[in-house]
Chains A and B, each alone.
Chain A
Amino acid sequence: MTEDNSAVETEEAVEVPARPLPDNEVLRGLFEAFEDVGWGDSLGQDVALVPNDRWLEFATAAKGAGFEVCVDVTAVDWMRQRTERFEVVANLLSMQHRLRLRMITTAPRQEPTVASLVPVWPGVNFAEREVYDMFGITFEGHPDLTRILMPDEWEGHPLRKDFGVGTVPVQFKESHKVS
C-alpha cells in the first residue's frame, strides 16, 4: 500500500509544473502568451523576468495589452553577486487598467547589450541614453546612443560599482599650525 501511494504522489508532482501566474486578467493573458517569461511578486508589485532575447518582443506584447507608457528605464550593477552582471529594469504603466508592471532582464559582463525599446515607446530615448552613459549598456536599435549627462570624452561609466567615488582632500584653515 505504502509503495503505491508514494508512486501516485510522485507522478502527480511531475505532471503539474506549477508556474506562478498573476491574478489580474490583463497580466495573466500577457504572461500566458510567453512561456519563458517568469512572473514575480516584489512586495506586492508585479515583476516580469524577461530573457534578454525576448525583451523587445515582450515589450511589444505589453504595449498591446494596454501598457501605453514606459515611465522609466534604469539598470542595476550586481558585480560578482550574480552570474549576469547587469540588470536592466523598465517600469511600465497602464493608464487604462491602472496597473504597473516592472520588466527586468539581464545583460552579461562582457559587452552588455539589450534591445532598445524606443521603437515601442519613443519616450525611453533619454532614459536609455542615461543607462548607456552611466552603465555602458548598449541598446541595439537606439537612434541616438550618445552620452547624455557626462561629457563625450569621459572615460568609464560612473554608476558601475567598480567606478570609484572621488574624494577631495580638505585643507583646514588652522592645519599648518598643528603640523
Chain B
Amino acid sequence: MSDDAKTLDVWVAGTEEPELTPTDEGAQEISIDESGRRLDEQFGRVVEDDYVFDDDADEDERMILNMGPQHPSTHGVLRLQIELEGEIIRRTKPIIGYLHTGMEKTGEQLNFSQGGTNVTRMDYLAPFHNELAYSLAVEKLLGIEVPPRAAAIRVLLSELNRCSSHLVALATNGMDIGAISMMMYGFREREQILAFFEKTTGLRMNHNFIRPGGVAADLPPGWKDDVAAIIEELPRRLGQYDDLLENNPIWVARTKGVGVLSPEEAIAYGITGPTLRSTGVDWDIRKAFPYSEIEQYEFEVQVGEQGDVYDRYRIRVEEIKQSLGIVEQVMDTIPKGDFRVEDRKVTPPPRARIDESMEALIHHFKLFTEGYKVPAGETYVAVESPRGELGCYLVSDGGARPYRMHTRAPSFSNLQALPIAMADSLMADTVATIASLDPVMGDVDR
C-alpha cells in the first residue's frame, strides 16, 4: 500500500486493507452489547411493551444496517441504524446532526429585527411558521399588539404555507412508496402557492416577511385573484390525488397498518402535529392556545383512528382543505388598516418621511444599525406548524439582541417516534414510515 493511498484513505483493490477507523459518531452509534433503558428506547418498548422478541432467532440472521445520511428517502441527511432480523426491524436509532449549523448561536449574534432571516431558514418548508413563532415571542416581550390586518395577513400566509408544506409531504410520501407521478403533481401545485409567495414577499422561500410588529409589506395588488385561483384549483387537484392514491389498492396496502403509533406512546414522546392527531388525540394549538386572532375563523381539527401511515396521509389531505377554508374566510373578512404596528420603537418610518424629515432619517438609521432594545424577560410562544408544535423560547437581558433564542423544533421531537413506529415492521416499510413523519432536517438539526 503506497503512502498516497494511506493519506487519502482510499483502499485500492488488491492491496492490503487499511485499518478501520471509527467514525465521528462512535458513541452516538448503535452498538451490539447495549443494555438497559438505552436498548428499550431503540426497541421502542418504553411505553407499551408490544414488542415480540424472538430469542430463538438465528444469530446469523441479525445484522445492523446503516441507512443514510446520503439516502434519497431520508428527506435530507437523516441517518438510521437499523438492527434487522431477516426482513424484520428489531431496533432503530436515528443519528442526527449532519445539518447542524448552529442557528441558535447565530440567533444570539443578530439583533431582534435581523432574527427573522435566521429562523426562517430552520424549517425551510414552513418558513412563515418559524417567522410567526419568533415574531410573536418578540412582540410578547415588547408588549405590543399587531393591527388586525397584519394578523389576518399572517393567518393567510401561514395557512397557505401549511398547504404547500403538506403538498410536499404528500409528494415525497408518494415518491418514497413508488408513486412517482404523485411527486410531480404535488410539487406542481406547491409551485402555484410559492408563486403567490414570491409575488407577495419577493422570495419563494426564506421570506423574512412576518416581522416583529407586523408584516414587511401589504399584500400586492391583485392578490385576491391569485388566492381565489389557488382556492379553486387545489380542491380539484386533491380529487385527482384521491384517484391516484386513495383509489389505488397498492397505495392502501402499503400504508394501512404500517408504522403504527398508539396515543399513549405519542403523548409520552411529545409527538405533535398530524402525527399526534393520527393516533386519535384531538389536539391543535390553533384551537387550544389561539394565536394571531385565528380563533375568529372556523375550521375543524382532523383526527385519525389507527395512527398509521395511511391516517397521517389522510389527515394531511383533509388539513389542506381546512386551511383553504380558513384562507377563504380571511379573504372575505380581511380588515382594512395598517399592516404593521404604528410603534416608532420597532417600525421604521415610511420611505416618504425619510426624504422630508431629518429625525425620520436618523430614526431609520438607528433602527437598522443598532436595532431596538427589548425589555428583559423570558417567554415561550408556540404555533401549530405543519409538523406540530413549533415553539420559540426567547430570553432578553434588555439589550438589542436576544440573550438566548431557542426553537422547539417539531421534527426534532417527532423523530423519536421512529424507533417505536418501526419496531417489528418490515424493512420495506421503513421509507413509508419516515416519509409519513415528514421530518425536515433543517428543523431537526438547526
Contacts and interface: CB of A to CB of B under 8 A. Distances in A.
A50 B265 CA distance: 27
Contacts of A144: 37-38, 41
B269 A123 contact: yes
B298 interface: no
Contact of A143 (B26, B38, B105, B408): B38
Nearest to A146: B27
B391 A89 contact: no
Contacts of A30: none
Contact of A98 (B36, B109, B289, B413): B289
Contacts of B97: 147-151
30 contacts: A42-B379, A45-B379, A70-B270, A71-B382, A71-B389, A72-B270, A72-B393, A76-B378, A81-B397, A91-B393, A98-B289, A102-B380, A122-B47, A123-B269, A123-B270, A123-B416, A127-B412, A130-B412, A143-B36, A143-B37, A144-B37, A144-B38, A148-B28, A148-B96, A149-B96, A149-B97, A149-B100, A158-B105, A163-B105, A165-B109
Given A76-B403, A151-B24, A124 B380 contact: no
Contact of B27 (A122, A125, A147): A147
A74 interface: yes
Interface in B247-284: 267-272, 281, 283
B270 to A, nearest CB: 3
A127 B379 CA distance: 18
Interface of A: 42-43, 45, 68-72, 74, 76-77, 81, 89, 91, 95, 98, 100, 102, 118, 121-127, 130, 134, 143-144, 146-153, 158-159, 163, 165
Given A151-B24, A151-B25, A125 B379 contact: no
Contact of A152 (B27, B268, B378): B27
Given A98-B289, A123-B416, A165-B109, 14 more contacts: A68-B267, A68-B268, A69-B270, A70-B270, A72-B408, A91-B380, A121-B268, A122-B268, A123-B270, A126-B416, A143-B37, A147-B27, A159-B105, A165-B106
Contacts of B380: 45, 72, 91, 100, 102
A139 to B, nearest CB: 13
A107 to B, nearest CB: 15
Contacts of A134: 104
B182 interface: no
B133 interface: no
Nearest to B25: A152
Given A43-B141, A45-B380, A122-B41, A152 B270 contact: no
Contacts, number: 118
Contact of B24 (A100, A125, A153): A153
B26 A152 contact: yes
Contacts of A74: 393, 406, 408
B270 A124 contact: yes
Contact of B288 (A98, A122, A148): A98
Contacts of A122: 41, 46-47, 268-269, 416
A134 B103 CA distance: 12
B232 to A, nearest CB: 36
A149 B441 CA distance: 12
A27 B101 CA distance: 38
Given A98-B289, A143-B36, A152-B26, A71 B408 contact: yes
A42 B143 CA distance: 12
A121 B270 contact: yes
A38 to B, nearest CB: 15
B139 to A, nearest CB: 11
A89 B288 contact: no
A43 B379 CA distance: 7
A95 B289 CA distance: 11
Contacts of A76: 378, 395, 403-404
B102 interface: yes
B415 interface: yes
Given A42-B377, A100-B380, A159-B105, A126 B412 contact: yes
Contacts of B46: 122
B204 interface: no
Given A69-B267, A71-B408, A95-B281, A149 B24 contact: no
B445 interface: yes
Contacts of B41: 122, 125, 143-144
Nearest to A81: B397
A147 B95 CA distance: 10
A102 to B, nearest CB: 6
A42 B379 CA distance: 7
A34 B296 CA distance: 39
B140 interface: yes
A125 B268 CA distance: 11
Nearest to A129: B28
A126 B78 CA distance: 14
B24 A71 contact: no
Contacts of B281: 95
Given A42-B377, A43-B141, A98-B289, A165 B105 contact: yes
A151 B29 CA distance: 11
A42 B378 contact: yes
Contacts of B403: 76
Contacts of B446: 149
Contacts of B406: 72, 74
Given A69-B270, A165-B109, A152 B37 contact: no
A5 to B, nearest CB: 40
B372 to A, nearest CB: 17
